[in-house]
Chain A
Amino acid sequence: MTARELIVQMTSRFGPRIRSADNPVPDMVIFTVERDAVVEVARHIFHERSGRFVITAGTDYRDANGGYLVDHVFSLAADHLFVTVRTPLAEDDLWIESITGSADIPAANWAEREVQDLLGVRLRNHPDPRRLVLADDWPEGLHPLRRDFPWNGNPPAAEAAPPLKEPPPGATVVPIGPFFPVLEEPSYWRIFVEGERVVGGDYRGFYNHRGVEKIADSQLNYNQVPFLAERICGI
């Protein structure tokens, strides 16, 4: 299927709830949708078209259009297309329905929480809306990827107990932390065990979050970013 055919099919199915459809480069389609249509459109792409979830990118676009953008990106491998479901959000009404919970897309779990942490877009109906990227003692209401947050901002330390998951009744917690083989970076993984058997777990990571995206779009120019990008590692 070509990008053109996809746009025709999607707009005839969802009608005016798809506000606009763009095809800026050959392998990319952007559907700008109403907020109340996100879940349905995402569900359709993921479950009925076997779209693979790629990322959720949130953007503080206030100085361009007065609001925020939340882009859910999917890949349609057979058609060699990236499909973006874009939702513009108003600054004073900053929430979105979670596609993890409401559209049954478990793959979006962390990506949505990342947007919630870094941009302050509240999630409705997310199965696990705890913080992901920000530390537990990071102050409320400060969101590092907003344009008005300085790239070298350094908030005061706060006191907060980390909200950790409870193990199932009868299970023991085995912490796999910085002192454990294969996991020597600052992340903390709790395994719930009954005897020797693993029955669950809870991951807390990103203690080394370096904020490279913020540095790139506020301090560096196009040709300096590749050298920073490489240092993400995560190859």
Chain B
Amino acid sequence: MHSTGYCQAVEKAGGIEVPRRARYIRTIVLELERIQSHLLWLGIAAHIIGFDTVLMQAWRIREPVMWLCEKITGNRKLYGINVVGGVRRDIPKAMHPELMEVLGRIERETKAVLDAVVTDTTLLARLANVGILPNKDASAYSLLGPTARGSGVAIDIRVDHPYAAYGEVETNVMVETSEDIWARTVVRIKETLDSIRIIRDCLAMMPGGPLQAKITEPIPPGRIGQSSVEAPRGETHHYVITGEDNRPYRWKARAPTFQNLQGVPIMVLGETIADVPIALGSIDPCFSCTERLETVDVRSGEVKVYTKADLFRLCKERWSKR
């Protein structure tokens, strides 16, 4: 998500035209990301309110999406697919049948979960009419993504500022108006199903051609470019001023949680303490994901997992050597 936003900002500043096939591949990867992220969120949200069956089911459905991402990009997460001017890997025709098969399976299973979830009285009791975010506050605080759309604010960067292949592929903005956590849940489940449809459309419409633009001239300094990408949690915005030495002079990145977190105090006002965790969880907060690190030695196949304590010790050793 962030790498697409950054690349698009630099491409705009430098006047680089990205080939159409690359734009379709970016779109497919972005939508795969949305599917796995929304399913991940559904599991975590259910876990927060103590409904672990949904956690197990959502993550079971999610796993094949991760395998697919690994197959396409080489990584389960942090895909490394984007470079300025295009993408690094193709999605060849030979991969389409497998993609379609996995998408079909996820679609069936997500619909089954949806059917089970919307009729579940426990979930409704915990999520409906809880964590109210009024429409006017969602606008005043410029909240983003499913958080805003659950409060009836019809914003979606894919439609508002089309990028990659979104100008050519139909995109539906999922809006709910009940302003509670339930609304944000429904928005996410509907979006998951819509993402599956978008990927199918992209595969059907994908044109041929190169994967990267030929960049012969250096990007001139002092130019400005900005780009937004609709990440699963909302808009990520990237702002670039180009510089000398083949690097940006200024790069500003804003993740959606930065904005959405400012709306949480409104959601929890007047609620009970027990509802605070799920209200906070309903924005899908991403504070940071740097707690653990796993390394694999490709030669010996040896796997070592560093815990938070290990990383802390390593950091301290490193700093004390300075």
Interface residues of A (CB under 8 A from B): 24-25, 27-28, 30, 52-55, 57, 59-60, 64, 71, 73, 75, 77, 80, 82, 84, 105-107, 109-111, 154, 174, 176, 180-185, 187, 189, 191, 193, 196-201, 203, 205, 208, 210, 212-213, 216-218, 220-223, 225-227, 229-235
Contact = CB atoms under 8 A, between A and B. Distances in A.
Interface string B80-121: 101110000000000000000000000000000000000000
Contact of A233 (B237, B238, B273, B288): B288
Interface of B: 1-3, 5-7, 10, 12-13, 33, 37, 44, 48, 78-80, 82-84, 139-142, 155, 160-162, 219, 222-226, 228, 231-233, 235-239, 241, 243, 245-259, 261-262, 264-265, 268-274, 276-277, 280-281, 285-291, 319, 322
A229 B142 contact: no
A217 B249 contact: yes
Contacts of A183: 280, 285, 287
B6 A226 contact: yes
Contacts, number: 201
B273 A191 contact: yes
Contacts of B280: 176, 182-183, 189
A122 B214 CA distance: 44
- Mostly, the A contact residues are mixed
Given A223-B84, A233-B289, A216 B322 contact: no
Contacts of B83: 223, 226
- Mostly, the B contact residues are mixed
Given A24-B224, A217-B243, 9 more contacts: A54-B235, A59-B250, A80-B161, A82-B161, A182-B44, A182-B277, A183-B287, A185-B291, A217-B248
A30 to B, nearest CB: 7
B18 to A, nearest CB: 13
A55 B3 contact: no
A193 B273 contact: yes
Contacts of B48: 181-182
Contacts of B219: 222
Nearest to A86: B224
Nearest to B255: A234
